[in-house]
Amino acid sequence: GLLRERGAQVIGPEDGPLAEGESGPGRLTEPNAIVAALAGLHAPAPAEPPPSSELKGLRVLISAGPTYEDIDPVRYVGNRSSGKMGYALAAAAARLGAQVVLVSGPVQLATPAGVQRVDVRSAAQMREAVLGALPADIYIGAAAVSDYTPRQVAPQKLKKTADTQSLTLELVRTPDILAEVATQTNALKLVVGFAAETHDVEKYARGKLVDKRLDLVIANQVGISTGGFESDENAATAYWQGGEQVFPGTSKAVLAEQLLSLIAQRLHA
């Protein structure tokens, strides 16, 4: 809107189920997200590297952030992804000369300069937006898409009663966006996936590389001090058929530049 165009940081509203069974924009942003957004306003801005043309003329499609799968108008199934890595990649790709489309789950981050942003909430919406943004030269699937979604969304808030000691939710699989995108061989030149694992990182990353027929997998271990979800820092290892490259812990902005340099190399390999 006009305020964002003038540089104002706007927090919310969120999109999703509302009262009386309706759905749309108007949900209050979660308090912890508001606090995080306010804290970010006082954080020093990273130094901008000089513009580069490493990706000039290429269309780069990036998905970032979490997805929220609604249970009722108040609750949802989600995850801890902040979207910071995906947004750092989008910002870096734009600085490297690419035309960037960023499909974003619910996050409180400013849109990077020169980036076209498409906001979504659920896995189904993200799939529709990603497939609708093809063709592209490069797809980077940095979003933490929910693996499961409630089979039914309650039109009203589920109330607890004196007799209610447990609640059972039936969950069904969500579409595998990354695997589906990887089949679009006529619409893409390079498909990059992310793998956030708690253990056996290389095993699962290489399995993902083969099973989903990806060109590159960027893997990192979550739950440790080197970064990951909600952190401004991260460490990662990139895997491809016949090779790998380790990226030690650094800021996500710097890591994004390093990863895109590798991605550009793999595009022309």
In the annotation, is 220 catalytic?
no
Report the half-sphere exposure of 135 (CA within 13 A, side-chain side).
9
CB 60 within 8 A of CB 101: yes
Active-site entry in 32, 79, 220, 234: 79
CB 54 within 8 A of CB 264: yes
CB 222 within 8 A of CB 228: yes
Report the catalytic residues: 79
